[in-house]
Structure 1
Amino acid sequence: MYLYFMGLFCYFMVFLYIKISLGGINMFRKMKLWCASTMLLLGAVSPVYAEQTPTPIEVYYAPLQFVIDNDVFAPHADQKGFIYEGSTYVPLRFISYSLKKAVRWDGDSYTVTVEEPSATDLVSINDYNVNTKIHSGVSKQPADTSSLNSTQIEAYKEKVNYIFDGNSKEIGADLPGFIYEGSLYVPLRFFSESVGKKIEWDAKTYTVSAKTQEAPKTEVEPAKPDTTVTTPVVTGGGGGGGGRGGSSSGGSSNPAAEAQIEGKLLALENSCRAELQAIVDKYDSKAIDGKTAIEEVKSMSAGCRSRFDAIISEGVSLNISDSVLKGYKSQFEQMQTDAYMLLLNKYGK
Structure 2
Amino acid sequence: MKVQTSAFELVFDGKTVNLPDGQFIFVNQGTSYVPVRFISYALQKKVVWDSATKKVTVTEPSANELTVLREYLMNAAGEKGKQSSVGGTTVTASPISAAFVFDGVARNLPAGQSAFIVNNSIYVPVRFMSESIGTQIKWDSANHRISGESKSYREEQQSNGDDGGKSDGSTGGEQGTNNGTSSGNGTGAGSAGGSGVVNKPTYEQIKSEADSKLESLYNSAKSSFLSLAQQYLSATDKAAKQTIYAQGEAYLSDITSQFNAILSDTEAKLTANGYSTAIIQEYRNRFDSEIAAGRQTLAAMMK
Shared topology, TM-score over 0.5? no
| Larger Rg over CA atoms | 1
Query: Structure 1-normalised TM-score?
Result: 0.39
Structure with a larger share of its residues in helix: 2
Query: Structure 2-normalised TM-score?
Result: 0.44
